[in-house]
Amino acid sequence: MLLSARLSQWALGTASGCPASSPTRAPRWTGVRVTFSTRSWWPSSTTRNVTFFIFGPLMMFLMHPYAQKRSRYVYITCILFMVVGLFSMYFHMTLSFLGQLLDEIAILWLLASGYSIWMPRCYFPTFLGENRPQFISLVIITTVVSTFLSFLRPVINAYALNSIAVHILYIVFHEYKKTSNKELRHIMEVSVVLWAFALTSWISDRLLCSFWQQINFSYLHSIWHVLISITFPYGMVTMALVDARYEMPGQTLKVRYWPRDTWPVGLPYVEVSDDKSC
């Protein structure tokens, strides 16, 4: 009964996204009638998520040597990234309550996997000391509870997920001040800029809905998807480099770019080598 009530509430007015960015979605808060049309929305809802299925397997392959030496759970993070793309595609094709929840829950577990692997011990809650297994248990319990709570207030899920970025930025900011490594600083700067552009697209899509409708610009939400999928490998490499300063002191991580280091644009990954000075 509770789930049914929440479903009805969502259908009446809590769906996310701007009609200008979703031609098939009936407007739920702007008071403007939008004609349903699947003619152009079908390609948009699928192609916007293609990058998830390209970058996910590619990062699994590129990060394989690192995962063998640090943690094989890195593969799970890459798989969850692809699951996010799959559920996002399902949600935008069906515009269903189930699709929205699956999309947001997948993102939640993706973030949880990243926290479990790469969160530096010095940022653990004091009552855990620096015990990573206990920290992982805490993350899993919190994520399970949050998964169930997401059914109660689905309208705030997306905002809650984006707010987690504040804590991640806090860590990046402090680690940025600690290091003089130009390579690490550069990858941090690029990651933050990409995330900022992605978040700007997401916020603009929601808050400036009527403006985008007036100028007939229906691509902002697609831009958000592409930018956030590009942010993933940069964020992954950033946290791997930060983590290595604490967990892999006897090894050196160097940032490489696929397909070529010399290309102006490339997909970042890390190469691991033993530190000969140790």
| Known binding-site residue numbers | 92, 221, 225
From the centroid of its chain, how far is CA 200?
14
CA angle, corner 54, sides to 243 and 85, nearest 5? 85
- Using an 8 Å Cβ cutoff, are 220 and 204 in contact? yes
**Binding-site positions for Zn(2+):** 92, 221, 225
Closest CA to 34 of 158, 210, 205, 154: 210
The CA distance from 136 to 114, in Å, is 10
Q: Which helix (H) or strand (E) holds 126?
A: none
DSSP string, 64-94: HHHHHHS-THHHHHHHHHHHHHHHHHHHHHH
DSSP H helices, the chain, are: 2-13, 41-47, 50-62, 64-69, 73-94, 97-118, 132-149, 157-178, 182-207, 209-214, 220-247
